[in-house]
Structure 1
Amino acid sequence: MACNVVVLISGSGSNLQALIDSAADDGNPARIAAVISNRADAYGLQRAQNAGIATVVLDHKQFDSREAFDAALIQAIDAHRPDLVVLAGFMRILTGDFVRHYQGRLLNIHPSLLPRYKGLHTHQRALEAGDAEHGCSVHFVTEELDGGPLVVQAVLPVAAGDTIETLAQRVHAEEHRIYPLAVRWFAEGRLRLGAQGAMLDGQPLPASGHLIRT
């Protein structure tokens, strides 16, 4: 059984490309049914079109409120009968109504080792704090910003000479590895959101999620 996935983007779509490439793997039940962007100039739309995936542009500036935009977004997503909705650089804070509508089938990726550095400028903050390790996290989305149950984290060492740019580049490479992994787990029925948090193969994941060290 294919697992219908709708991906939301706002920008270049490099994580989207990793998901497109992964969905082409033999035996992967994840099928990207549509890509939706709130920006018409998002390069990720071109990536989707190149792969023959339906695209939708829904400009948030055309709506009077966040609630009105999210209601229209729900309609656009549900037209593709999604089993899973994936946020891949979607630069919008979502309303509680939206998050509740997709509870247990909404994933996000964040460029830090959550719960550290929720929000923006994560690489700069990790360097300023003198952290020995940094990375990225895939989590189920809840109403708490960047606060849902963790699924998988990639952990990498911070090098002595790292800049924001070099650190961001290495974290991006890990994002492209762990996001397709989490989506495939969900598509295969292995990953679920339970009452106690994220579950993999019927077992609760630790609070930190599944850790992958590089």
Structure 2
Amino acid sequence: MSSVTRIEWTEVTWNPTTGCDRISPGCDHCYALTLAKRLKAMGQAKYQCDGDPRTSGPGFALTVHEDALFEPLRWRRPRKVFVNSMSDIGHARVPTAFVARVFATMAMGPQHQFQVLTKRPRLLRRLLESQKFVDVVWAEMERLSSDDTVPLARSGHVPSGLPRCAEDRAASSSCPAARRRAGDLAPRARGLRGRHSAQLEHAPDAGVVGGPQA
């Protein structure tokens, strides 16, 4: 489930995956790791799988949540959405096909501003610059637009092109202590609709990166 948050630079969190692994000293005081332990003790279903105690902890194993994938498509009112506040979409163990589905969901919700935080920008950038990945996102968008079981809150409106990162909005983001890398997160879709028009337009609107360039 998504939830309203007290984080000042966003409005709601959306966690299609949960859990992570510490990869640098910058992860030593990870709030999500501490919170996952508490959520497990409370019986929250998303946080019942324990991670490796050397790098993770109770309730914090990297876990994919299919049932959370389409939550933003149910929201009519535009929102600022912090993607994976309890995980990292750039984690090596998140299946590539699932990452593509996450980006397709973001693309199908252009009324929202999606904010992606990663400690693994180089890994995620390599993925997003892959033509094969872009093709998978396209295919998933087409599938979503024709699937009657998928909740689309935009009254049937389907984007005519792949979304492009909004660098202007990212640059003006109020998120503190972060380097904006929205442009880096936009894949070049070579061979699709010209040199500039086939980049990701609506997903994400802002990227926040930090830690090792893994």
**Fold equivalence (TM over 0.5):** no
Higher relative contact order (CA 8 A, sep 6+): 2
TM-score (norm 2): 0.31
Q: Which has the higher strand share?
A: 1
